[in-house]
Amino acid sequence: MKYRRVSAVARKEVLHILRDYRSLLMALATPALLLTLFGYALTLDVDNVPMAVWDQSGTVRSREFVSRFGGSRYFAIRRRVDNYDELVRAIDRGQVMMGLVVPRDFAQKINAGRDADAQLIVDGSDSNTATIAINYAKVISQIYAMDLTLEQNNQRGGRPLQIPLDVRPRVWFNEDLESRNYIIPGLIAVIMMVIAAMLTSLTIAREWERGTMEQLISTPVKPGELILGKLLPYFAIGMCDLVVAVLMAEYVFHVPLRGNVALLFGLSAIFLTGALAMGLLVSIVTKSQLLSSQVAVLTTFLPGFLLSGFIFTIANMPRAIQMVTYLISARYFVTILKGIYLKGVGLEILGAQAVFLTVYAVAMIVLARVKLKKKLA
């Protein structure tokens, strides 16, 4: 492999990139656009769940109970209704997601020391949000019940109640449980995967469609030199995209970066190399820019978004799907990014993921070289 040949191929590719300045601007702006769009639109936090209240009791006790929901950041009382028909219409129209019904004898039962009932009606169309909201409502009700128990015990002059189990949860790595703190690192992995594959998926296919591939075949340039020369310019663009993504995560979304920055960029370079080589492999196999771009999106975005553990927990997937995820490089990179960003760990923890990324990158480069060699022959 000669440096002059690699440099010549890389210089030729740079000229292609500079002539098509619109594609260059898109390559540099797309990561920022996608990160902004998904960063603000994609959230798993359940806050301000809209709810309607039908307080049939209308007493101090019932108002106090309802205020526990209104005073929580997890619920927002949007409507007060007087019958079930109004409550049902509000849920059907999507004006509220939950309905709280306090019966007439609510206060009487509490004052008499008996168990009081309250009805919670939930729109289960969005099962995940509904489940989380129900758990929030249960916690609020349990805290209110505990406060009532302590109040009644004090009124009767009883001894202070001793709670047999005192659970004090302590959250590590994401203390405020902000979903963006683990969504943004995962987004960086998916966006880099898609952009990298899209950048190189058109390179060889473009040469075939423009009729310049035959000229390259007639030159002394070897397959490995051609691949390396094609990858280098896009590697530089990909690293620029990574810098933009890291800066946006730090200064726009305020995601804590607790780990080593050099390790972050080093492992990202390995991941980027594998993604670029995969796009180049697709371009070599398809020989069509249209087909190549479609295959690149199909083999990067969907697996990266669905099978990397970015949004959906891999352990909850069927066993067969879990086995497929081991072939997705984004799975290992998502783990690396979350480990560096949130946990601040190093290679002593992330070494296995780094090895898998390296193996994947080498495998993609070797496959691309083998396929290109067959075409040149």
> What is the distance between the alpha carbons of residues 334 and 184, in angstroms, rounded to a whole number?
10
CB neighbourhood size of 21 (10 A):
9
**CATH of span 49-155:** 3.40.1710.10
For residue 121, what pLDDT band results from cuts at 50, 70 and 90? very high
Q: Where are the domains of the chain?
A: 3-43+178-376, 49-155
Query: What are the residue ranges of helices labelled H in 47-101?
Result: 60-70, 84-92
Write down the pLDDT at residue 160: 64
The tens digit of pLDDT for each residue in 21-52 reads 777 787 788 888 888 888 887 777 788 899 99
3-state secondary structure (DSSP) of residue 122 = strand
The tens digit of pLDDT for each residue in 244-300 reads 999 999 999 989 899 999 999 999 999 999 999 998 888 888 888 888 888 888 888
> What is the distance between the alpha carbons of residues 30 and 157, in angstroms, rounded to a whole number?
68
Residue 339 φ then ψ, to 5°: -65, -45
> What is the distance between the alpha carbons of residues 143 and 151, in angstroms, rounded to a whole number?
12
The first and second tokens of residue 120, run together, are 């919670």
The tens digit of pLDDT for each residue in 168-218 reads 778 788 877 777 888 888 889 888 888 888 888 878 877 777 777 767 777
